[in-house]
Amino acid sequence: MQKNIEKLNILDFIDSLDIREFHKNTTFAPEEQAVLIVNSEKHTIEEKMEALEYLLEAYPDYDAPLYGDGWGRNFRELTQNTLKKWKTLLAARYENDGYVYMAELLEKDTAYCHEGYGNLYTDYDSAYEFIQKEKQEYLEDGDDTETYGLIKRIQLNPEYDENAYRYGEYYFNTENKLVRVGGALDELEKIDLWDELENASFFLELPFKAGDIVKVETLCNPTYYGVFTGRWKKRSCPKLIEMTCSLDVYVPDRDLFDYTDDTPVLGMTLCKEEELPEREAPLRLLSQVYTGDMDICSMLMFYGRKEMNRALEVK
């Protein structure tokens, strides 16, 4: 791979502009930088590989466990395993003998079919061309619906239950950039699920406070909104540290409040007043409860009576 990185600016790999600004003066350890790189969904897989290789070369004598492992897995081992996995899966794209390629371009929040009911092609390039053409139709129609693409490499005529262990998955963001790869091949059998960076974590300070309404962008889900609860502190047990948090959310289609327990923190940004869709307005009530500007009984009364305008009047 051509080496284009002379100096790595890790902030470029933090997708959230608010978190990026908050940490502009933070010095991240190499193992923390590696986790941030892997979690970016706006950089291509090749860009992320190049950044990981830069870290290994820039810190040849450095090794340390990641804060979120709990099993003694170290920076170099996890980074090398991740690079091996990605390189192997990328190379496998062009090994066509005995495989077929399923391609789909999906609107976010639409799950692809694991059984392979998308369009089928004999090679990766033809599958990718299909995704490109599908996306171009959206653009020509002026349709800004967020999408994601998937190509799945599926083994033909496998032995019983063998197909579950020999496949490749290639994910494309709404700009059709390849940003994530996954799968299982014979060459990767010795790399356990917990021996790669995609399942590693560390505690990251966040710029949000209780009551903040945040906007969340992820690879496969449409942009959604929630109230940050403020329940975010470093766990005493390292293996319980995660890169996800819980948000309180409103579900307009069902007219009820709910919560998430797996929101990726690196996809969160502060939602500006004018950005919040009208259908998400009840979040403003919940926000005031967290900030102490409204008690829960008043919130339930205003919400139950559908007196949103009265409840949100500027005092």
Sorting pLDDT into bands at 50, 70 and 90, what band is 274?
very high
For the ranges 77-91, 100-114, 152-166, the maximum mean pLDDT occurs at 77-91
pLDDT of residue 298: 82
- The average confidence (pLDDT) of the chain is 87
More confident of the two residues 303 and 137? 137
* pLDDT above 60 for 211: yes
* pLDDT above 80 for 288: yes
The Cα-based distances of 208 to 221, 247, 265 in angstroms read 22, 12, 10
CA 179/CA 270 separation, integer angstroms = 24
In the chain, alpha helices (H): 17-22, 30-39, 45-58, 75-92, 124-140, 282-291, 296-305, 308-311
pLDDT of residue 53: 96
pTM score, whole prediction: 0.88
CA 109/CA 92 separation, integer angstroms = 28
Q: Enumerate the domain spans of the chain.
A: 10-92+195-199, 99-190, 213-311
The Cα-based distances of 47 to 44, 92, 178, 196, 303 in angstroms read 5, 19, 10, 18, 47
* pLDDT above 80 for 314: no
Q: Quick one: which of 79, 36, 72 has its CA closest to 57?
A: 79
pLDDT of residue 277: 94
| Rounded average pLDDT over 55-76 | 78
* pLDDT above 50 for 131: yes
CA 18/CA 274 separation, integer angstroms = 17
Question: Are residues 127 and 151 in contact, defined by beta-carbon separation less than 8 angstroms?
Answer: yes
pLDDT of residue 240: 73
Sorting pLDDT into bands at 50, 70 and 90, what band is 137?
very high
Residue with tokens 């014979």: 186
pLDDT of residue 2: 44
CA 85/CA 219 separation, integer angstroms = 20
CA 241/CA 228 separation, integer angstroms = 18
Sorting pLDDT into bands at 50, 70 and 90, what band is 111?
low
* pLDDT above 90 for 165: no
